[in-house]
């Protein structure tokens, strides 16, 4: 294959449609895997540079994300994931020109709301930082406030970048949006390795801002090619805007409760010795890596199809597609949680075990990660279930469930820290317990809304999953200890890497083989995706994906592009 052909088909690959949920999820998962790898590299560089010498500053840096993330989650994610995508999908079926006009008006409205909120955070960063931390010193609060002021600018670019992501995903273009977190992490790594040399802890914050700009720019050419632009549009009286605001309010309130959860956890973590908050964030990053890999990727790929099927009133197909997506996500998340529980110390050592990262910190991070393994499964299911509610244009029930989840965090968190004195382990126990309860409540309530919801398939899946975990868990454990004791020198990075890869490969093979023997459809889907993943050449030789299973859906959607 010539270089010209490779270049042309590679360019087509970046902009082609993907109409099958699991194919799109595979694209997202591969890109997310690359992004996650860079995220681990980013954290390794960050902690190697600052943990041993400047743990208080590192805590301030991690805490500085809290206020900007609050605005981003409430405004951008609340509007786009729950409100904009379903309404935009429906409008695109009716009138593409009006749909793009709606997207521009939505972006303009969000920007007008964002700017005064950002100004408030910028001006009052210090008193707000002092309010949400417990035992930070005056110097830490000053540092946190200054870092917050830098990071709030990044959210402006994220606003338009995520709006672009929503448009591209509804148009079934998943690859470029999936690549945007990769360039975001590259921006932060640049900040750590270059700017930190003369800016100190402010270098990574500048990298966050630079990464947000990259996040937008990589998607912009394809969006412009498809006809979308950021031209301001002030037509806020249109009924679709009112529907978006109506759907957005409960979702934003729900996300607000989630942000209160995170703020409470951060507040309690700052009562512990310096560095504890940073170790908690490390463990959360590793656990969230897998729940995002198997929850967010499938959820993002599924939401446009969920919304299209709902708009087309195909209730039975929606029920099947929803359950397929949910069980595939849980199937993969169970595998990940089992592997993480067994390999938690090798994973922490590989990810963050630089010479400057103490062994005691590695052990503590591994213990915290073990408590978070139930949340890997629960959060993966939550990503699918909540998107099912969004497609049904019901954002109220997830809000009340989030409220109940917050109560669990408050009771278990404060009780465990101040009454039982479990310190950081009380926080991760609260996180996992709240996630598990939230998932089962979401599943029960959405089953009441979906016509033809198949509880029998759920029960069969749970029974077979117990067998999978019971058998594959000891296989993971046995392989790890055999390789460590008799074959590999795990004091060196390469030995540790080979140990982890061989254990993951062997345990995953047993998990997949047993699931196929049990007749689990989720195993067959995974096997198909693995084969497709290995066929890199076909990806560059073909410019359009031919998927028979989605032909009828494409006809219903009217070939959106």
Q: What is the pLDDT of residues 329-343, one digit of tens each?
A: 899 999 999 999 999
For 322, the enclosing helix (H) or strand (E) is helix 315-352
Query: In this predicted structure, what is the pLDDT of residue 243?
Result: 83
CB within 8 Å of 121: residues ≥ 6 apart: 67, 68, 71, 128, 148, 149, 152
How long, in residues, is the chain?
561
Number of domains in the chain: 1
The two structure tokens encoding residue 95: 């009138």
pLDDT higher than 50, residue 364: yes
Secondary structure (3-state) at 326: helix
Burial environment of residue 238 by CB neighbours within 10 A (0 to 12, 13 to 18, 19 or more) = middle
60-83: average pLDDT? 82
Write the pLDDT tens digit of every residue in 399-445. Answer: 889 889 989 999 999 999 888 888 889 999 999 999 999 999 999 99
CA 295 to chain centroid, in Å, comes to: 7
C-alpha–C-alpha distance, residues 312 and 69, integer Å: 35
Residue 265 lies in a domain: yes
Inside any domain, residue 107 = yes
Check whether 295 has a pLDDT greater than 90.
Answer: no
Residue-level pLDDT at 558: 34
Give residue 1's pLDDT: 44
Which of 154-163, 219-228, 293-302: highest mean pLDDT? 154-163
Which tens digits make up the pLDDT trace of 201-228?
999 999 999 999 999 999 988 888 888 8
Q: Is residue 470 part of a domain?
A: no
- In a domain? residue 447: yes
138 domain residue, yes or no: yes
Q: Are 368 and 428 a contacting pair, CB within 8 Å? A: yes
User: Does the residue 482 lie in any domain?
Assistant: no
User: What pLDDT is stored for residue 313 in this prediction?
Assistant: 76
Question: Are the C-beta atoms of 180 and 158 separated by less than 8 Å?
Answer: no
Q: How far is it, in rounded angstroms, from Cα 152 to Cα 493?
A: 37
Average pLDDT, the chain: 82
pLDDT, tens digit (0-9, with 9 covering 90-100), for 523-555:
887 787 677 666 644 544 443 433 333 333 333
Domain that holds residue 273: 3-453
- List, as one string, the DSSP characters of 227-283: T--------TTSHHHHHHHHHHHHHHHHHHHHHHHHHHHHHHHTTSSTTHHHHHHHH
Which range, 180-194, 227-241, 288-302, 349-363, has the best average confidence (pLDDT)?
A: 180-194
The average pLDDT across 153-160 equals 92
Task: List C-alpha distances in Å: 372 to 329, 360, 462, 542, 559.
Answer: 17, 19, 20, 41, 42
Closest CA to 308 of 101, 14, 550, 521: 550
| Residue-wise DSSP of 112-157 | HHHHHHHHHHHHTHHHHHHHT-SS--HHHHHHHHHHHHHHHHHHHH
Q: pLDDT class for 307, splitting at 50, 70, 90?
A: confident
Rounded to an integer, what distance in angstroms lies between the CA atom of residue 30 and that of residue 13? Answer: 14
Give the pLDDT score at 24.
58
In a domain, 90, yes or no: yes
Question: pTM higher than 0.85 for the full model?
Answer: no
470 — pLDDT class (breaks 50, 70, 90): very high
Q: What is the pLDDT of residue 559?
A: 32
Q: What is the pLDDT of residue 29?
A: 67
Residue 507 DSSP class: H
The answer to whether residue 547 sits within a structural domain is no
Torsion of CA 488, 494, 498, 504, to 10 degrees: 120
**Per-residue pLDDT at 100 exceeds 70:** yes
At residue 149 the predicted structure's pLDDT band, cuts being 50, 70 and 90, is very high
């Amino acid at each position: 294959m010539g270089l010209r052909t490779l270049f042309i088909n590679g360019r087509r690959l970046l902009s082609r449609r993907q109409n099958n949920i699991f194919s799109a999820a595979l694209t997202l998962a591969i890109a997310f895997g690359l992004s996650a790898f860079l995220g681990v590299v980013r954290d390794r560089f960050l902690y190697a540079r600052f943990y041993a010498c400047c743990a208080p500053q590192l805590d301030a840096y991690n805490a500085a994300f809290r206020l900007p993330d609050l605005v981003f989650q409430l405004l951008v994610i609340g509007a786009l994931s729950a409100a904009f995508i379903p309404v935009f999908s429906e409008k695109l079926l009716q009138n593409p020109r009006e749909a793009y006009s709606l997207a521009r008006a939505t972006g303009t409205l969000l920007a007008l709301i964002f700017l005064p909120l950002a100004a408030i955070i910028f001006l009052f960063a210090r008193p707000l930082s002092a309010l949400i931390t417990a035992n930070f010193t005056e110097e830490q609060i000053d540092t946190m406030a200054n870092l917050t002021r830098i990071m709030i600018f990044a959210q402006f670019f994220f606003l338009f970048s995520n709006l672009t992501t929503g448009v591209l995903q509804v148009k079934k273009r998943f690859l470029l949006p999936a690549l945007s977190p990769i360039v975001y992490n590259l921006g932060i790594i640049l900040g750590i390795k270059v700017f930190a040399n003369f800016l100190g802890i402010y270098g990574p914050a500048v990298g966050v801002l630079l990464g947000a700009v990259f996040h937008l720019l990589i998607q912009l050419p394809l969006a412009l090619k498809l006809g979308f632009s950021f031209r301001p549009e002030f037509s806020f009286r249109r009924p679709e805007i009112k529907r978006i605001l109506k759907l957005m309010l409960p979702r934003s309130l729900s996300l607000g409760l989630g942000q209160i959860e995170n703020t409470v956890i951060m507040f309690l973590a700052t009562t512990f010795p310096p560095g504890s908050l940073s170790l908690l964030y490390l463990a959360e990053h590793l656990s969230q890596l897998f729940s995002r890999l198997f929850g967010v990727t499938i959820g993002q790929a599924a939401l446009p199809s969920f919304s299209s099927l709902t708009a087309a009133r195909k209730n039975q197909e929606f029920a099947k597609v929803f359950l397929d997506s949910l069980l595939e996500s849980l199937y993969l998340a169970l595998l990940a949680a089992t592997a993480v529980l067994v390999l938690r110390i090798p994973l922490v050592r590989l990810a963050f075990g630089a010479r400057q990262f103490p062994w005691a910190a590695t052990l503590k991070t591994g213990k915290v990660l073990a408590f978070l393994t139930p949340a890997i499964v629960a959060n993966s299911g939550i990503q699918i279930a909540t998107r099912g509610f969004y497609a049904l244009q019901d954002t109220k029930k997830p809000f009340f469930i989030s409220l109940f989840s917050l109560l669990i965090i408050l009771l278990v968190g404060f009780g465990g820290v101040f009454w039982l004195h479990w310190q950081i382990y009380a926080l991760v126990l609260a996180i996992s317990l709240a996630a598990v309860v939230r998932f089962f409540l979401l599943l029960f309530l959405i089953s009441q809304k979906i016509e033809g919801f198949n509880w029998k398939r759920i029960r069969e899946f749970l029974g077979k999953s117990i067998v999978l975990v019971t058998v594959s868990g000891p296989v993971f454990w046995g392989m790890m200890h055999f390789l460590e004791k008799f074959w590999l020198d795990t004091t060196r990075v390469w030995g540790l890497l080979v140990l982890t890869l061989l254990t993951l490969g062997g345990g995953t093979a047993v998990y997949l083989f047993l699931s196929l023997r049990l007749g689990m459809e989720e195993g067959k889907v995974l096997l198909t995706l693995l084969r497709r993943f290995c066929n890199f050449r076909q990806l560059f030789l073909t410019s359009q994906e031919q998927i028979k299973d989605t032909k009828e859906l494409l006809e219903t959607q009217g070939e959106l592009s």
